[in-house]
Amino acid sequence: MNNRTLIKLKSKLASVLILILVCALSFIGCSDSSDNNNNQSNIINNSYKPTSLSLTAVGDVMAHTPQLKAQYDSSTNTYSFDNNFQYIKSYIENSDLSIANLETTLAGESLPYSSYPTFNTPDALAVALKNSGFDVISTINNHTFDKGTLGFERTLSTLKELGFDTIGTRSNVDDDDYIIKDVNGIKLGITSYSYGDIKGSNKYLNGIQVSDECKDKANIFSSSDIESAFSTINNTLSSLSDTDMQIVILHWGNEYQRTPNNFQKELAQKLSDAGVDIIIGSHPHVVQPVEMIKSSNGENDTLVVYSLGNLISNQREEILGTSYTEDGLMVTIDIAKDNLEDEAYVCNVTCIPTWVNKYTSGSKLVYEIVPLEDKTTLNTMENLPYSKIEQSYENTSSLIDDSDIIQVVSSPFE
């Protein structure tokens, strides 16, 4: 029995004993006055009223060179990415907590802005994410060290100055490699890790050796050794044993592959066995399935979102030969906590397919993330290729099997 299970059992026993005591007091006081009865009823209702929260997660946020040109205003020599997110902003703002994976660095103007294979994006992208309502940014992925120590450190400092919580990298070696968020009385323990190459004491991301100054400030697991990968992540989980929900963000899998590989499945199972409640994946740049799995002993249910695909990028069919990189997924996870049982659980998962619309307006390209749900909203948009977005919806929805807990939103094209 792990520490987290033991803590939950002790809390559950304590809750039961408290309930017995409250009921006994209520029984003793019932002959005194109706006010006593009302007071005891209020104690029970207030103490054991279930609580809930909604958590929304999105996929890779990228900025390729055509995007940089599209978001640049030559008259002011500034960038703005706000329009990219205008149609999903309400989803993000309406969620109690929202998470995005920033797959670029914010190394600043001292280095040229660039994209593949080494990314450096204007701070305006982070500003747009903040303006859209995002709360937590995962900063660990294979592009985290694209611009060396400068990019590593400045990305963090820029995000923190904007008020984001960050996971995956940290400013100091002694800082926690996780965050704990108390949302509506539900304590979430969240960490983020990326695959990488580990050779002896050296770590590599995107083929670049992470500097000695930064390597112990980055959550990196071995991409070639499943036991080592699990052990690395499990070291962090031990610090989350007294939270209500353990959430692990993972940068993993094979690029452009719509099914999880064996490494993903095995690691997901090991994390479920360790008590992880939610696993959210990125990196393949295409959507992969969403499912619930059980721990080997049958005592823990784990939601696994293998890959959310791209939220926004310039990875297009005409460039890569596949349209799947234009597809993304917003997942809103409803979490409830039974305060009597002192136990939190995933009660509903809503999957909303998205598609990146790219078109020309005047002399400039325009990029917009389109949520494929509300037909009324779609009808207000211009330059939408309906055959493509209908196919995008089918691409993504086909990977999600409706269940009692997991649902994909209804097609807006019916």
Q: What is the pLDDT of residue 409?
A: 96
- Mean of the per-residue pLDDT values of the chain: 90
pLDDT band for position 341 (cuts 50, 70, 90): confident
Q: What is the pLDDT of residue 345?
A: 96
pLDDT band for position 12 (cuts 50, 70, 90): very low
Burial class (CB in 10 A: 0-12, 13-18, 19+), 203: buried
Q: What is the pTM of this model?
A: 0.89
Contact present, 220 and 236 (Cβ < 8 Å) = no
Whether residue 361 has pLDDT greater than 70: yes
Would you state the structure tokens that stand for residue 396, as one six-digit string?
């993504």
What's the angle, vertex CA 324, arms to CA 323 and CA 328, rounded to 5?
A: 125
pLDDT tens digits, one per residue of 171-229: 999 999 999 999 999 999 999 999 999 999 999 999 999 999 999 999 999 999 999 99
Q: What is the pLDDT of residue 295?
A: 97
